[in-house]
Structure 1
Amino acid sequence: MTITEAETSVFDTLESQVRSYCRGWPRVFEYAHGCRLRDEDGHVYLDFFAGAGALNYGHNPPVLKRALLDYLERDGITHGLDMSTTAKRDFLETFRDLVLRPRGLDHKVMFPGPTGTNAVEAALKLARKIKRRETVVSFTNAFHGMSLGALAVTGNAFKRAGAGVPLVHGTPMPFDRYLDGKVEDFLWFERLLEDRGSGLNRPAAVIVETVQGEGGINVARAEWLRALADLCRRWDMLLIVDDIQMGCGRTGGFFSFEEAGIVPDIITVSKSISGYGLPMALTLFRPELDVWEPGEHNGTFRGNNPAFVTATAALDTYWADSGTEKQTLARGEQVEAALDEIAREHRRSGAGYRGRGLAWGLTFTDAGRAARVCARAFELGLLVETSGPESEVVKLLPPLTATPDELDEGLRTLARAVDETG
């Protein structure tokens, strides 16, 4: 079924105008497996969007589906608030053994609510509680969520405007290479910290994405991240890494900051942590930062036990060894090679690319080109979306489980879409 403006459907008559993805992909989908979706008319699409990074292991991974069905069939706990359950225990033990301990991390695990913005809100609240300061520094083109606290540290003007109230207690600083390398890293930030007349209140924390997904696939250098961690340490600011879209293996390692060799004070994780697209989020923090009073931050759906089940299965399946990380890096090299060829063929139109692991962006000097490429790619059977402040970047987030042949198919389709929108 194709959704058109002329057609009266329940989506048009009942659903809010706020819907967005369905406008770029006007089909009614009914089936998904691995890297592919099928609409109810039988058309098949290769998915290089992966639920905005919530489906790192593809649609309906069989091992995870089996674990979920078995759990439901035996009437396992579905809703549990923050009560202790067998599903939660299994997840915590597996997360500790396969993720935290192998990386030398001893962070406490908090379930703040089922979405990424819940995790960010908890991180901001905790940082302010600990430091007894209000200001949190973020970075240009950052995206941290759609609730008010997260919006205050988000850069996108369109999303910020939707708040309807002043967004306060957040101060933006230039992200890596925002000034094209013409200014020494953190020169402005540190000068403001040093100058008692700068007007910058001492921040409680700094929040950063190592790769800005919604901001345009802007990749922070490892040395820049290390310098940021050092700055936070010297000026008594907590370092929060938002790993909601780039965590769970998207850039190679389970956490995107591993390459830089830093240890954040607080880490936010969501999207692919459940492994199955089920809502789930974590806020991780060093043990000495666990100063919450019981019930001081809570939520009705923070104990999503079916998500605990699939999350445990995902960790056991994909993170018991280094295979997923190695495969992701190899697949990333395949994507980079294809994007390099596309960029060289379209150099005159200002094409370029950037990324890490399996998060990549194809850029154009003509801001409208990316949207045209995405639209044509959809017509050709490929799901990709735009990102960046002007929607000037074609964002590629294929599942980490995509085969070389599937990647090649999608990249050839992308190349054709670029050729046909020149």
Structure 2
Amino acid sequence: MDEKIITSIVCPGCGCLCDDIDVQLSGGSIVQINNVCSWGIGRFVDRKKFANKKERKRPDGHYTRINGARKSVPLDEACQLAADVIRAAKRVLIYGLCQSGNRAQARIYRLGKKLGATFIPSEGPLVTMFLEQFKQNGLSLCTLEDVRNRADVVVFWGANPIHSCPRLVSRYALFARGRFTERGEEDRKAFIIDLHPTELTKVCNEAILKDGDDLALLRALRTLLNGEKPEEYGTVKPKQARELAKALEEGLYIAFFCGRGPFYGNDGKKFLKEMVDLVAYLNEKANCVLLPLATDFNTMGFYHTILRDGDCDVLGKSLMYDVRDWKPRKGDVVIGLGSDFIWFLSDEQKVRMRTKDVKVISISSYETLTHVNCTVALSCAMAGIEVDDLAYRLDSLPVKLKGIRKPMLPADWEILERLETSLKI
């Protein structure tokens, strides 16, 4: 058998897009992987993300569902059937978008605009807020290498990288040794602000636990930094807030990583605005950056697609904040791109989908709950594993993805190209 070792390839397992992965191939199959986390292993060898011993089933063709029975069909026929479903729709919604390469994102965004579709990104609650704030005020960003080399204060706010970007703490944010942080974690102060204790609680300088009082803590920090005494700290102990404020005041390079938590509920927009204001205030005396902790490997790629088209006005018009805001109605057609759409719906939404006869078209590399039960299933190869593509890291750095396994199915962007041809628009 032909054996080959490929070094320094990019892992499309999460938003870190680690570029130090070494893979050994034998007979076209992956037999060994180095420098990879459990998420990456799952991606490379088709295993479940949190249970690597369990196989994640891949589809072997394209399917349609007729009278409740699943039937295998050729790609061209599947695309034509999907086109017929879309043409009959009163409203088209496109969900997912963040687990596909940039070529597929660009094509489905162009197609969605022609159809007047509503986009629902899988990471919507987090990054939609950042996009809105970027439009209004701009944001302070940096590369992950800057965090590794310079950051002496790191704050994880509503973010647990162990369950979103597993190697972030070891490669960049906490344990990594950089140019000006030669002792790694000894040269950094790290804080975690979360509802519950997490894996990082034991290694951070302080674990500040709160009960949804993000705004109260944020305002208390701003007051402390102004040399005044806050009227309230929310559910946070005053001593903890003072220690964090002191670290922010003394820090030379401060990095905030924000997760989804603070953006759920009615105060999400207020929180981000005041967080951006705090970062701007800290930047008057030191360097301070704010990065969204995006889990899906190409979340930032979709938002760059929007920005490249100059479509910031899409917010509030054709970009839905959260899939939980969707109320299924008769005539709806949902296109799921690289996502398990049905998995994230409430029981009420699932019931309404059945009663309103909502059609679903799935474009996926895996046999997900959605892909198995949809109206038309268009199966595709995996970007960064089987086909080349482009993705954007969580810090917005573009990274090339390299296919290393022979694909048995077409790329998602090729399927979208055929679908657009079938629609004749």
Same-fold call, TM cutoff 0.5: no
Give me the TM-score of the superposition, normalised by structure 1: 0.36
Give me the TM-score of the superposition, normalised by structure 2: 0.35
The structure with the greater share of residues assigned to strand is: 2
Q: Which has the larger radius of gyration?
A: 2
